Chain A
Amino acid sequence: MLRIEGLDLFYGDAQALSGVSLTVPQGGITAIIGANGAGKTSLIRAIAGMERPRRGTIVFDGRDITGWDSHRICDLGLGQVAEGRQIFPSMTVADNLELGAMIPRGRAAAAATLNRVWEIFPRLLERRGQTAGTLSGGEQQMLAIGRCLMGQPRLIMFDEPSLGLSPAMVQEVFAVIRRLHDEGLTIVLVEQNVALSLGMADHACVLENGRVAMEGGGGELLGDDRVREAYLGL
């Protein structure tokens, strides 16, 4: 569904990604793991059109989207839940969700999608008139996910969805991700919580210094000695 080939990304002179190639199969969960600064967030931003790669191609659903503006990429159904949640703190929960449906793709079915979001996250419905900044960290993460759903994505890239959440909340967020996967969405998961993400991924890759160091099935990598040593401390 998503194919990346030979992606090079630079911030000024600093190279963030070099020759990254990756295939994300439709309907699967693809995990991207790696240390801080390995290029995980850069990869997501490049795919989303928020950074322009110097070389390489990004093909989504058979269409070459390299160099496209982010709003056009979103409108193809490639959504993201960015790192640090990035909700609009002074706006209400309902307004935050409405902003997720601004793209033409989300606009038509906004009312129906909103009901679906309320159903998945009943707590957001309870708090819909509250400003988003007053929500707990976990609720903000749910709002970020719900807001992304409002744009009717077919593929969602999650960047560190467990960041700063309590263990119970992490379980809840991952249960939602699993549910979305079960409902047919394709998932790309960037996570620090390597055991959790590899455990649920069909497919995974390890980024090191902007390169793909390893690739394979989730369980396969979880059993790999190098991964266990470097990322799980075993």
Chain B
Amino acid sequence: MRRRIALLALLSAFVLAPLAAGPYLLSVLVVVMYMAYLGQAWNIMMGFAGQLSLGHSLYGGLGAYVTAALFVNWGVPAVLGLPAGIAVAVAAGAVVGALGFRFGVKGVYFALLTIAFAEFTRVLFEHIPSLGGTGGLFLPVGSRDGVDLLRLRGHPLMFYYLILAMAVGAFLLCRRLLACRIGYQWLAVREDQEAAQALGINVFRAKLAAVMLSAGLTAAGGVFFAFYYNTLFPTQAFGMGRSIDIILAPIVGGLGTLFGPILGALILTPLGELITWGTEALGFKAAGLKQLCYGLSLLAIVKFLPDGVWPWLRRRIGFDPADDEEEGT
């Protein structure tokens, strides 16, 4: 009961936040929700199924580019381009997963494989002139006032509520998945793949499902990104930096937990903004300082809270862990 009230209060705070926020704060909130959403998607692969992907920008980038290209070149509204973008990303996830898992590529080597795919996709997109190449793909900026969900053009508030809904949806989906057979199988694979195999769990299929689902969700996040910022560059959309950004929130918040990605995003994004604001206020430019602080906070987390902030916080406020990871059992 207490848990429900706390959750409702949190959700209400997010829903009502724009009332108190100016345009700048609203843009920060959008990024928070965007990172929480992507973190949730990545967490399915790493946190649940134990498969480290360091090339998740591949899926976000594919979703973004496919949907944006359909819109720019043929005027296909985002709502129709989205399934195509997701389909391409899911297919890419299936290829990466099938190659890696069929040939027993594990751990760090699998992570390297995911980086390789993201990198060569980046190079590929840099050489497609019709998609702008290295010069980038620019979406025509539409009216900033209305609400057009079909074309994803409109007021920043629309984008905020959209990404909030996506983050809440991803949270609920993950919660549901963990109570299902596939969720159990993921946790078994994460904990001891050999043992899972010995029990007759189809380890290959379970891992492939995790990659494909994670890729599809990440692609939807990429589509949001494309239509919110209206610009796409291969170096960013498929870049290593984007992949790292995706994994930070769930690691800081707590791998494999449902609140971890949300909490991580709530900590990291404002931290980054604070550093940018602080250095500007002090009148100097320090490129890379944000990244440095991210790195330091990551070090601090690994050193002091190796399970992430949420498992620690959960103990402090007396939430039963069974309410989180093993909801519904």
- Interface residues of A, Cβ cutoff 8 Å to B: 48, 50, 69-71, 73-75, 79-80, 82, 86-91, 94-95, 98-100, 102-103, 105-106, 147-148, 151
Contacts and interface: CB of A to CB of B under 8 A. Distances in A.
B181 A82 contact: no
Given A89-B191, A95-B329, A98-B184, A50 B197 contact: yes
Given A95-B184, A95-B329, A98-B184, A103 B199 contact: yes
Interface in B155-200: 181, 184-185, 187-188, 191-192, 194-200
Contacts of A82: 194-195, 198
Contacts, number: 67
A87 B195 CA distance: 7
Interface of B: 181, 184-185, 187-188, 191-192, 194-204, 326, 329
Give 10 nearest A-B pairs by CB, closest first: A74-B200, A86-B195, A103-B200, A71-B202, A88-B191, A71-B200, A82-B198, A99-B188, A70-B197, A102-B201
Nearest to B182: A102
B193 to A, nearest CB: 10
Nearest to A50: B197
Contact of A100 (B187, B194, B199, B202): B199
Contacts of A95: 184, 326, 329
6 contacts: A69-B204, A70-B197, A71-B197, A91-B191, A99-B188, A147-B199
Contact of B184 (A70, A74, A102, A105): A102
Contact of A102 (B185, B191, B194): B185
Contacts of A105: 200
Nearest to B191: A88
Given A88-B191, A91-B187, A102 B198 contact: no
Contact of B191 (A73, A90, A98): A90
Nearest to A78: B200
Given A70-B197, A79-B200, A82-B198, 5 more contacts: A71-B203, A82-B195, A94-B329, A99-B196, A102-B199
